[in-house]
Amino acid sequence: MKSEILTGKKMPFCPGCGHGVVVNNISKALSELGYNPLDIIIVSDIGCSGLVDPLFATHTVHGLHGRAPALGLGVAMGLNDRSKKVIVIQGDGGATIGLQHLLEAARRNIDITLLVFNNLLYGMTGGQISGLSTDKFKEMRQVEEGIPPFDIVKLAHQAGAMSSARVLSPVNFTESIKHAVETPGFSLLELASVCPSYGLQKIKELDEFSQEADALLNNRKVNEVNYRTTTSLLNFVKEIPILYPTKIEDNYRILLAGSAGGGIQLAAELLAKAGMYAGLHATMKGEYPVTVGTGFSVAEVILSKNHINYTGLDAPDVIFVMTEDGLEKVQKYLNNGTSVYADDIVNFECQTKITKPFSRKVGKRSAILSAIAYWIEENDIIPINAFIEAIKPHKHSELLIKAIETPI
């Protein structure tokens, strides 16, 4: 027995909104086609149409305004399972904002179905007109005279969609949705909807104010459908063998702070890799300004004997401070319970601080590596050889290893 496509939750739309009618017809169409909820991936974005997520008992993905077709394309290419179906839902506003994403999905002819809920306006932000608002609808509002709307059905067809159509009457919604979903490759279906708050209030007005319902536009041949799937990036990652034992029984939360160009991100990556060579689970993430080449550079590393379920560092066990830029970013974490290793060019008060001339000994770019090596050897965290092993593949490995072997 097949599960219900809808969750049964109350519709979030305004009373009389046509989106609820569309949602019910989607559910009916999928049920009649024999889909189980988990055979379907609904991808939506911002707008009244994007409120559908909790209504469906399917997989759902919610993205940025206009970007749903791009997300849907990525999901479909990553599935590698033709028994699943990706259905993208957008409003006319989202279709306008993300028009290039829509056309690209049609051009590639990826196997997804795009349903455009067209109520002729931006309903979530006050009823502004969209690129799909018709001349007659704009004339009624006395706005944007003489600027024609996009014909999303014809544009999708010209871009290469397998099929595209516009349906005005809810009586025809279910069968039209079934056809679109069953169509291999990219299909677009524009469904007319009323917006009682800002637009049309009666379904019978749809014929008068919508673009004319086109006959179904078919394109290409079935054998031209693009079923190409992506290859997981994990397939290209070489397994890191466990080469060295470690005495760590719990976990270490490590915060590295310096300036752009100071090798902070590289050091964090190498430290995480060294942990894996020692048989530990490891995570690494970085933070730096959009200018990249100037300002602070901060990285977080967790080394753990156990699986890491949360990568945040609310309370670091050890902090490395290499510059004033870095100090400013991690100042709030400095306390008596945290070990702090600092370059002697940075002046600040901290009872648990250990200060060494890292940059004066090995230079600013290698100072953080020197500090990490000093910490590893002083505390017997992991074998220093694990750190060296992580450095070996780097193109400047000789210089980097020399830096960590320089006595401090």
Helix axes 367-379, 384-391, angle to 10 degrees: 150
Fold that domain 238-405 belongs to in CATH: Pyruvate-ferredoxin Oxidoreductase; domain 3 (3.40.920)
Residue 94 and residue 69 in contact, taking contact as beta carbons nearer than 8 Å:
no
The reported pTM is: 0.66
CA pair distance 367, 359, nearest whole angstrom:
5
Q: What is the pLDDT of residue 220?
A: 60
Using the predicted structure, report yes or no on whether residue 11 has a pLDDT greater than 50.
yes
Which has the closest alpha carbon to 330: 356, 344, 348, 308?
348
Tokens 């909820």 belong to residue? 37
pLDDT tens across 94-109, in order?
999 999 999 999 999 9
How far from the centroid of its chain's Cα atoms is residue 23's Cα?
A: 25
Neighbouring C-beta atoms of residue 353, cutoff 10 Å: 16
- Residues 6 or more apart in contact with residue 231 via CB below 8 angstroms: none
Q: What is the pLDDT of residue 2?
A: 58
Using the predicted structure, report yes or no on whether residue 215 has a pLDDT greater than 70.
no
Using the predicted structure, report yes or no on whether residue 194 has a pLDDT greater than 50.
yes
pLDDT tens across 350-361, in order?
989 999 999 999
Locate the domains of the chain by residue range: 19-224, 238-405
Q: What is the pLDDT of residue 82?
A: 85
CA pair distance 303, 273, nearest whole angstrom:
10
**128-142: average pLDDT:** 87
Q: What is the pLDDT of residue 209?
A: 78
Percent of the chain with pLDDT strictly greater than 90: 73
Using the predicted structure, report yes or no on whether residue 145 has a pLDDT greater than 50.
yes
For domain 19-224, the CATH superfamily is Thiamin diphosphate (ThDP)-binding fold, Pyr/PP domains (3.40.50.970)
Residue 64 and residue 46 in contact, taking contact as beta carbons nearer than 8 Å:
yes
Q: What is the pLDDT of residue 159?
A: 93
Residue with more model confidence, 140 or 32 = 32
Using the predicted structure, report yes or no on whether residue 167 has a pLDDT greater than 70.
yes
Q: What is the pLDDT of residue 293?
A: 80
pLDDT tens across 332-385, in order?
999 878 999 999 999 999 989 999 999 999 999 999 999 999 999 999 889 999
Q: What is the pLDDT of residue 1?
A: 39
Residue 312 pLDDT class (50, 70, 90 cuts): confident
Residue with more model confidence, 201 or 31 = 31
Helix, strand or coil for residue 203?
helix
Using the predicted structure, report yes or no on whether residue 219 has a pLDDT greater than 80.
no
Using the predicted structure, report yes or no on whether residue 227 has a pLDDT greater than 80.
no
User: What are the DSSP calls for 241-302, one per residue?
Assistant: P--S----SSEEEEEEEEETTSSHHHHHHHHHHHHHHTT-EEEEEEE--TT-SSSEEEEEEE
